[in-house]
Amino acid sequence: MSRFKVIYLNHATEDVYDIIRSQLPDGFDLITLEKDDDQERREKIKEVDFVLVATAKITEDMLRDAKKLKLIQHQGVGYDTTDVNTAKRMGIPIGLTPEGTSIGVAEHTILLILAVYKKIVVAHNSLVKGEWLQFALRPNSYEMYGKTLGLIGFGRIGREVAKRAKPFDVRILYYDKYIHVPVDEKEKLGVEEVSFKRLLSEADIVSLHVPLTNETRSMMNREVFKSMKNSAIFINTARGALVDEGALYEALRDRTIAGAGLDVFEKEPPSADNPLFKLDNVVLTPHISAGTKDALIAKMRAAFANLVRVTKGEVPFNLVP
């Protein structure tokens, strides 16, 4: 009986590969990369039946010779790194994995809000240098209690953020151009739907939870940051390209807004000279909001289940239209 080959297109550590292999279905072999190299990707993708990918780019060059490829399975819900047009032209479906993402990202959103408000990075770095800022940080440290949280985007992740923010006794506003939320669900979550303009003007915390599309690219620009409160903070756990990073840097530098917590960047990894690194009113993490062992196991189970559906002649779930 022939076995199916699936390549994990991101280069990872052996312990990550071990977690992935632990969920591998019978009849499948996992192909991994020896290094983070596109030439190796192009060579190995030729012989596989399936691609499992996190953030690595899938280009036309890679797909051109992938004659056996039956499915590209993203382990998350973003697919902007894949050449969708070429995949469609070649008849290769693209599957998404919403499972395992929402909770981790929602928790990380709350983490970044608290870290920015409580100056956690400044407090830690000063303490290990021998400083004791017990009182010095108080004039610019805050609680979530009583603040207004504005969620831009109210899909799966936005709603999970709302659930976790509600016990902090915050007022929750949301804006979503496309998603309709029933009145009873709004009441249960304790949220209010408002316009984009009103959200920006009233929110103490603006958190971004929309997909990256041609419409949303650089949606957070200079004028948008100017529309926010000077005391507001900005959180992004979605996609870096949703934000004009230069405009964000200027807004933080000039105190147009008070602070930011970022898990994603326009360029990943960011350059060593990224000006955001010089600011003391930001908290930065390396795209790890959904990067937990719990999430990876859940993702792999769901992703491999989609691959199995294809081998049985069934239509996979969560396909890119």
For residue 176, what are its two tokens? 């979503």
Q: Which residues contact 132 (CB under 8 A, 6 or more apart)?
A: none
Residues labelled as active-site residues: 239, 268, 287
Q: What is the CA radius of gyration of the chain?
A: 21
Specify whether the backbone of 27 is left (phi greater than 0), alpha (psi in -120 to 50) or beta. left
Task: Report how far residue 305's alpha carbon sits from residue 301's, in angstroms, rounded to the nearest whole number.
Answer: 6
Task: Report how far residue 245's alpha carbon sits from residue 265's, in angstroms, rounded to the nearest whole number.
Answer: 8
